[in-house]
Amino acid sequence: MAVEVMRRREVPTERMIARLKERFGDRVSTAAAVRDQHGKDESYHPIEAPDAVFFARSTEEVAEAVKLCAEYKVPVIPFGTGTSLEGHVAAREGGLSIDVSQMDQVLRVSPEDLDCTVQPGVTRKQLNEYLRDTGLFFPIDPGANASIGGMTATRASGTNAVRYGTMRDNVLSVTAVLADGRVIKTASRARKSSAGYDLTRLFVGSEGTLGVITEVTLKLYGIPEAISSAVCAFPTIAAAVDTVISTIQAGVPVARIELLDEVQINACNHYSKLDLKVAPTLFFEFHGTTAGVKEQAEMVASFAEDNGGEGFKWTSSAEERSKLWQARHDAYYAGLSLRPGSKGWATDVCVPISNLAEAINETKKDLETASMPVCLVGHVGDGNFHLCFILDPNKPEEFEEAAAINERMVKRALALDGTCTGEHGVGYGKIGFVEEEHGPATIGVMREIKRALDPHNLMNPGKVIRLGANH
């Protein structure tokens, strides 16, 4: 069907591109390499190249391009850094990729209000670099150095979410270009408001299907007076998870609790030159005052001990801490290094924390017979965990096997009152699971909203929800 739609759209698309080139010159590219690069994210999904790529420099330019697309009924796919994981940027029906990476300005920082406004192409590392002298930081850290626009669009989170929340909680306002070129700003800079529908949260996680995000206002945080970290090995994953549950229940304001299974620890030991015991392991980070982080670490140490944790040690050394978290952030590459020439497939689910041990244990059992290495890591304070399949790109049967394991893991998460994706998003890779998770009535409402805001289904079509035959 996608091919047919593309053909129907071919001629107008050519005309539209010609007009766009007239207006923006060489910032509109139809070079195969550029198109291919924009039709592919970091996932296992194949390239589906757009017809052209437009490198936009302002909200007004995005609006102009989107209006032209609307006139010719050409799809629009927003593009940040291309680090998504479920085929979010694939041009399933062709169309124009709007690359916002040149919209990379931090527009405003207000230290007094602990907030800032950025263009969507600013990356999370760039933002924290920019903030370096202010004593502030932005905590959301998906593995990749993603763009703030993309992180907003996918409702990203990462290791700090257990304390600082996800993009849902940290975006104060969004400026977006809608399907017909209208520009809206969803909210003021007030920390809270009861003034109308929460359009901010509607755009957070909408994956470009409702509009192109062109500005984001974010909450910031003061860099804590003290930061310490800890690491602890456990006899079983269940023991590690029980430690997490005790920590969360006791209200310890832990900044990070990461679980790495024995496969992942083994990979990290080799890749990041660590000498951790090869066992299910928790990494912790504590933020607060000097006395506060000590107190937090002591509480967690006692929970770990109750659950048979071995060798809990905490440190305030910035160097040791940095080594530990660098290893955590490199977990994906560490996994790949287990098998030279391999390709990774990362997937995630999230369940209520009381169901986490069951979800993980059943998944681990399922992995016992897997024919490829699979690493398990998790932001377990939120009940969120990931699998990374380490695949031989020349063995399609491995992809099929991974797909089956993934499907069983997702169905298990749904049966345990969880979600098919805690932070990676839907793209088109999880579009069927989203339907299963929400059921027809709730999906129906999502469709009605999509149709209301994008009646011709031009904004990143084929992502998040399927609209059916007549769109």
Site for its own copies in 295-314 (CB under 8 A): 295
Query: Which residue of 3, 32, 441, 469 would you call a contact of its own copies, by CB under 8 A?
Result: 441
Residues from 375 through 394 that contact its own copies (CB under 8 A): 382-384
Pick the stretch among 50-58, 89-97, 260-268, 434-442 that binds its own copies (CB under 8 A). Answer: 434-442
**C-alpha atoms less than 13 angstroms from C-alpha of 407 in its C-beta half-sphere:** 9
State yes or no: residue 106 binds its own copies (CB under 8 A).
no
In b/e form, how buried is each residue of 331-340, taking b as 16+ CB within 10 angstroms?
Answer: bbebbbbbee
Burial 94-105 (b: 16+ CB within 10 A, else e): bbbbbbbbebbe
Binding residues with its own copies: total (CB under 8 A): 93
**Rule CB under 8 A: is residue 137 a binding residue for its own copies?**
no
d(CA 327, CA 335): 11
Give the SS3 label for residue 176. Answer: strand
Return the structure tokens found at 128: 């924290």
- What is the gyration radius of the CA atoms in the chain, in angstroms? 22
**Residue listed under structure tokens 């040791």:** 320
| Concatenated DSSP letters of 208-250 | TSS-EEEEEEEE-EEPPSEEEEEEEE-SSHHHHHHHHHHHHHT
List the one residue from 291, 305, 310, 395 that touches its own copies (CB under 8 A).
Answer: 291
> Which residues have C-beta within 8 Å of that of residue 78, sequence separation ≥ 6?
89, 97, 98, 100, 120, 149, 150, 153, 208, 212, 213, 460
User: Counting contacts by CB under 8 A, is residue 371 touching its own copies?
Assistant: no
CB of 204 to its own copies, least distance (A): 7
Q: How many residues does the chain have?
A: 471
Find the DSSP H helices in 256-289.
262-271
Residue 222 sits at φ, ψ, to 5 deg, of -70, 140
State yes or no: residue 238 binds its own copies (CB under 8 A).
no
**Residue 446 in the binding site for its own copies (CB under 8 A):** yes
Report the alpha-carbon distance of residue 419 to residue 352 in Å, rounded. Answer: 9
- Which residue number, 39 or 422, has a Cβ lying nearer to its own copies? 422
Selected from 80, 82, 121, 422, the binder of its own copies by CB under 8 A is 422
- Least separation in angstroms between residue 112's CB and its own copies is 4
Site for its own copies in 149-188 (CB under 8 A): 154-157, 161, 165-166, 168-169, 178, 182-188
Piece in contact with its own copies (CB under 8 A), picked from 31-39, 46-54, 69-77, 241-249: 241-249
* Smallest distance from its own copies to CB 29, Å: 30
Question: Does position 114 bind its own copies by CB under 8 A?
Answer: yes
Q: By CB under 8 A, which span of 68-76, 118-126, 286-294, 328-336 interacts with its own copies?
A: 286-294
11, 31, 250, 318: which one contacts its own copies (CB under 8 A)? Answer: 250
User: For residues 190 and 318, which CB has a smaller minimum distance to its own copies in the complex?
Assistant: 190
The reply on whether position 11 binds its own copies by CB under 8 A is no
